[in-house]
Amino acid sequence: MADDQDPRIVSFVNRAEFDNDRILTEVETYWRSLCDDGEPPLRSQIHPKKIENALEYAFIVEMITSELARIRVAGCHLSELAGTGASGLPLSCLFTMEARTELAGATRQLFSRPSVVRMDLHSRSSLGRPALAGQLLMLPLRSDMGDVTRGLGCLMTTGKVGKHQRRFTIERSTCTPLSKLLETRKKITTRPLPDYLQPKPAMDHLRLVVSND
């Protein structure tokens, strides 16, 4: 077999990762559109129809303590990963014991700063459970009281879930404060136009000059 892959053949893994990125981006873009004056959106502002492509993978969490969140509403994919109905379970049930300390720190950042949390996840293979890669996005939300005690999440995986509950380790995580995100967006919005797009100054009226010399 030739080393060069036929360009007409698209890797299933690459295609799955592309779809995951697209859906995660759609969720974050929708959430950003609802941010107002540097504040996260209200939980009541989230309308399922606006993220219908992600509903299978989306969930809502509620703060129990500063470092622990409970899943309130979950798409069927989370229930598949949990091996049971995910609603009502702590989010930490999807993570290994070793990963839960890092998850607790990220949960604290999600609610307290507040911050956007992104994680690359991995679930190792075992009997009846092939290796599984995952991407987690969590976005802060305010309750109807105005406090940041809710979160909109999306968990995408690549690979077969298998027959039993999955638990993830954290390969990489980032927590980006909302204030930094909005500051970056403001800079982009207020960036001066390039010279060729700058409005042209008004020209003085032409004056006819006659020379009889």
pLDDT of residue 187: 64
- For the cut 60, the answer to whether the pLDDT of residue 193 exceeds it is no
As a whole number, mean pLDDT of residues 91-101 equals 98
pLDDT grade for 126, boundaries at 50, 70 and 90: confident
Say if residue 213's pLDDT is above 60.
Answer: no
| Dihedral sign from CA coordinates of 30, 35, 36, 38 | negative
Work out the number of other CB atoms within 10 angstroms of the CB of residue 66: 12
**pTM, whole model, 2 decimals?**
0.80
Q: What is the pLDDT of residues 16-69, one digit of tens each?
A: 677 899 999 999 999 999 998 889 999 999 999 999 999 999 999 999 999 999
Which residues, other chains included, contact 21 with Cβ-Cβ below 8 Å and sequence gap of 6+? 135
SS3 (DSSP) at 2: coil
The predicted structure's pLDDT at residue 78: 96
Residue 118 identity: R
Distance (Å, whole) CA 188 – CA 85: 42
Q: Can you give the pLDDT at residue 10? A: 45
Greater model confidence, 116 or 11: 116
Residue 199 per-residue DSSP state = P
Is pLDDT larger for residue 118 or for residue 200? Answer: 118
pLDDT at 13: 54
Evaluated on CA atoms 112, 118, 124, 130, the torsion sign reads: positive
Strands 132-141 and 115-123: antiparallel
Query: In the 8-state DSSP scheme, what is residue 84?
Result: S
Residue 189 is predicted with a pLDDT of 56
Percent share of the chain, pLDDT over 70 = 78
The CATH fold assigned to 12-179 is Beta-Lactamase (3.30.450)
What integer pLDDT is reported at residue 192 of this predicted model?
63
Tokens representing 157 are 């995986």
153-166: pLDDT as tens digits: 999 999 999 878 99
Give the pair of three-digit tokens for residue 152: 């909109």
| Residue of higher predicted confidence among 30 and 190 | 30
Half-sphere exposure for 98 (CA within 13 Å, toward CB): 8
CA 45/CA 70 separation, integer angstroms: 20
Cα-based distances in Å from 106 to 78, 85, 99, 142, 174: 19, 24, 11, 17, 8
DSSP string, 40-80: PPBGGG--GGGGGGGTTTEEEEEEEETTEEEEEEE-HHHHH
Q: With 60 as the cut, is the pLDDT of residue 94 above it?
A: yes
Torsional sign, CA 181, 183, 186, 187:
negative
